[in-house]
Amino acid sequence: MNQSELPSAEVDRIVRLAIAEDMPWGDVTSDNLIPGDQLGVGRVEARERGILAGLPVARAVFAQVDPSLQFIAHAVEGARLERGQIVAEVRGSLRSLLRGERVALNFLQRLGGIATITNRYVEAIDGCHARIVDTRKTTPGLRLLERYAVRTGGGHNHRYCLSDAVLIKDNHLAALRLRGVKLADALRGLKNRLPHTVTIEVEAETLTDVQEALEGGADAILLDNMLPPLMREAVRLIANRAVTEASGGITLDTVRAVAETGVDLISVGALTHSVKALDLSLEIELNDRRE
């Protein structure tokens, strides 16, 4: 995984907020019990199998807590971890290690969990044409990192935010119908007003919806909550005139059948909104030596 995909300034900003949240006026335990010159080594260890994500974020945590700490990676981003594997180690002030421990682990566990579940979805559709993509159902303030974790796990990103692209969903469609505006007319109006670089996607629940989206020149059509037989028919109707996306309650048990309908994209909110953290720990080795 190319760590340059993470803007360092944004990572530093997010990390700074996390540290301020966890340690607004110091660590009253470590600051009063641990001498500032006592040394230690912290080793990040995997307690279960999974995909590693978040090393540059963990490195940034310890660098902000104490620039003198040495962060040494023993695995690369996107690596498949085995139980008991040492991921990284941090050397230096024991007090500083303890200050940064929880924040660094929180990032590694959250991002590792996202990368791991994403990779399972990607593997479940191996050999199919479709891509696994995320949604905007992310933790407020952490979208940049969570979407990076999706890519680390082998997935792809949907639009980043509401400003990126047009996505006309059920509530937008209901508002149009209430005003007596036909979808095709609304789409043509959008194309006249928006820059050519802005894509337009329309949510469809029926073949009639699909046909109307095509008539208006939609760039992509989101096939929402369709069963595979209907979705397959919709893909045939669209016939490569628009990008096709499947969405709505897709699980690891159902994603293969969805992919086999021929859709281009499969969006899965569960990649970020209900992910289980990857179990990692920071094991501390005490050192009698002083700086």
Question: What pLDDT digit, counting tens, does each position of 84-100 carry?
Answer: 999 999 999 999 999 99
Which residue type is seen at 52?
L
Shared-domain flag, residues 35 and 110: yes
77, 209, 224, 264: which one is catalytic? 224
Is residue 225 in some structural domain? yes
Is residue 249 in some structural domain? yes
Shared-domain flag, residues 77 and 172: no
Integer Cα distance of 228 and 212 in angstroms: 21
More confident residue, 290 or 266: 266
- Examine the pLDDT at 291 and tell me if it is beyond 70: no
Is residue 133 in some structural domain? no
* pLDDT per position as a tens digit, 170-198: 999 999 999 999 999 999 999 999 999 99
CATH number at residue 185: 3.20.20.70
User: Is 223 in contact with 93 (CB distance < 8 Å)?
Assistant: no
Known catalytic residue at 203: yes
Longest Cα separation, the chain: 78
Shared-domain flag, residues 115 and 13: yes
More confident residue, 105 or 288: 105
Known catalytic residue at 143: no
Give the pLDDT band (50/70/90) at residue 42.
very high
Q: Enter the tokens of residue 114.
A: 């996202």
- Examine the pLDDT at 1 and tell me if it is beyond 60: no
Run of H or E including 112: helix 94-124
203, 209, 245, 264: which one is catalytic? 203
The per-residue pLDDT for 141 is 95
Known catalytic residue at 66: no
Within 125-227, residue ranges assigned H as helices are 143-152, 170-178, 183-193, 207-215
Shared-domain flag, residues 105 and 54: yes
- Examine the pLDDT at 4 and tell me if it is beyond 60: no
Shared-domain flag, residues 118 and 191: no
Known catalytic residue at 169: yes
As for how many domains the chain has, the answer is 2
Shared-domain flag, residues 264 and 284: no
Q: Enter the tokens of residue 171.
A: 């509530």
Integer Cα distance of 127 and 195 in angstroms: 36
- Examine the pLDDT at 288 and tell me if it is beyond 80: no
- pLDDT averaged over every residue in the chain: 95
CATH number at residue 7: 3.90.1170.20
What are the backbone angles phi and psi of residue 171, rounded to the nearest 5°? -70, -35
* pLDDT per position as a tens digit, 103-154: 999 999 999 999 999 999 999 999 999 999 999 999 999 999 999 999 999 9
SS3 38: strand
Other CB atoms within 10 Å distance of the CB of residue 270: 17
Q: Enter the tokens of residue 265.
A: 């994209």
16, 80, 83, 169: which one is catalytic? 169
13, 43, 120, 137: which one is catalytic? 137
User: Is 107 in contact with 54 (CB distance < 8 Å)?
Assistant: yes
Its domain, for residue 170, covers: 165-268
Is residue 158 in some structural domain? no
43, 47, 102, 256: which one is catalytic? 102
Give the pLDDT band (50/70/90) at residue 290.
low
The per-residue pLDDT for 289 is 59
Other CB atoms within 10 Å distance of the CB of residue 58: 26
More confident residue, 127 or 287: 127
List residues bridging with 91 in a β-sheet.
Answer: 41, 70
Shared-domain flag, residues 182 and 107: no
Known catalytic residue at 159: no
Shared-domain flag, residues 280 and 250: no
Going by C-beta distance under 8 Å and a sequence separation of 6 or more, which residues neighbour residue 149?
Answer: 53, 54, 110, 111, 112, 114, 115, 118
Judge if pTM exceeds 0.85: yes
Shared-domain flag, residues 115 and 180: no
* pLDDT per position as a tens digit, 44-102: 999 999 999 999 999 999 999 999 999 999 999 999 999 999 999 999 999 999 999 99
Give percent above pLDDT 70 in the chain.
97
Reduce the secondary structure of 249-270 to three states and give it as a string.
CCCCCCHHHHHCCCCCEEECCH
Shared-domain flag, residues 259 and 223: yes
Integer Cα distance of 157 and 148 in angstroms: 9
Average pLDDT of span 214-232: 97
